[in-house]
Amino acid sequence: CVMQAFLEVKREIFIEPSYHELSYADHPLPIGSGQTISQPTTVMLMLQLLDVLPEQRVLEIGTGSGYNAALLAKLTRKVVTIERHVGLAEQARDNLHCAGLEEVKVIEGDGKLGYEKLAPFDRIIITAAANQVPQNLKDQLADGGLLVAPIGATLGCEMLKLEKISQKNFKTSSHGKFSFVPLI
């Protein structure tokens, strides 16, 4: 359950020490490299939309400090996360280690390419605003799988949930407007 994951993962592990007193405030916080950790209510909504089951394989695009990957690791043991900023990927590995979640696979690279080596994934989550869902990620989603992503301009992007019906068909639903750092 998503709420149980939130209770088990200490958010302060994934936040710069100077912001520890704001660890549980409901707004984004800077984590370095011009990136942010999303506010808890947004993270919770995205994870509820993703509807992860215990044996599913999950791909996260945009590791950041590793907080969302830690929450995912409480929902399933098969989590791969990709971060393009080397420093953040290293920080995420350290943070996940401190949280006792070394089984999360942190990859340094371009998340838009996905991770073909372990595809297909039952769930994919993008934690940065993209102009559109990259085709590579659609291709790496298993039939019947779900993908959750903020799509559009960084301010006022639309939270979309895509369900893969077949190789070319997706059922899409919208779940509100949000602001995210851009997917680059």
Question: Active-site residues: which are they?
Answer: 38
Chain position carrying tokens 């599913």: 56
One-character DSSP codes across 61-115 = E--TTSHHHHHHHHH-SEEEEEES-HHHHHHHHHHHHHTT-TTSEEEES-GGG--
Among 132, 148, 141, 123, residue whose Cα is nearest residue 45: 148
> How far apart are alpha carbons 15 and 36 in whole angstroms?
9
> How far apart are alpha carbons 21 and 16 in whole angstroms?
10
Among 28, 62, 89, residue whose Cα is nearest residue 182: 62
The residues near 182 (Cβ < 8 Å, ≥ 6 apart) are 128, 129, 130, 154
The residue type of 120 is P
3-state secondary structure of 147: strand
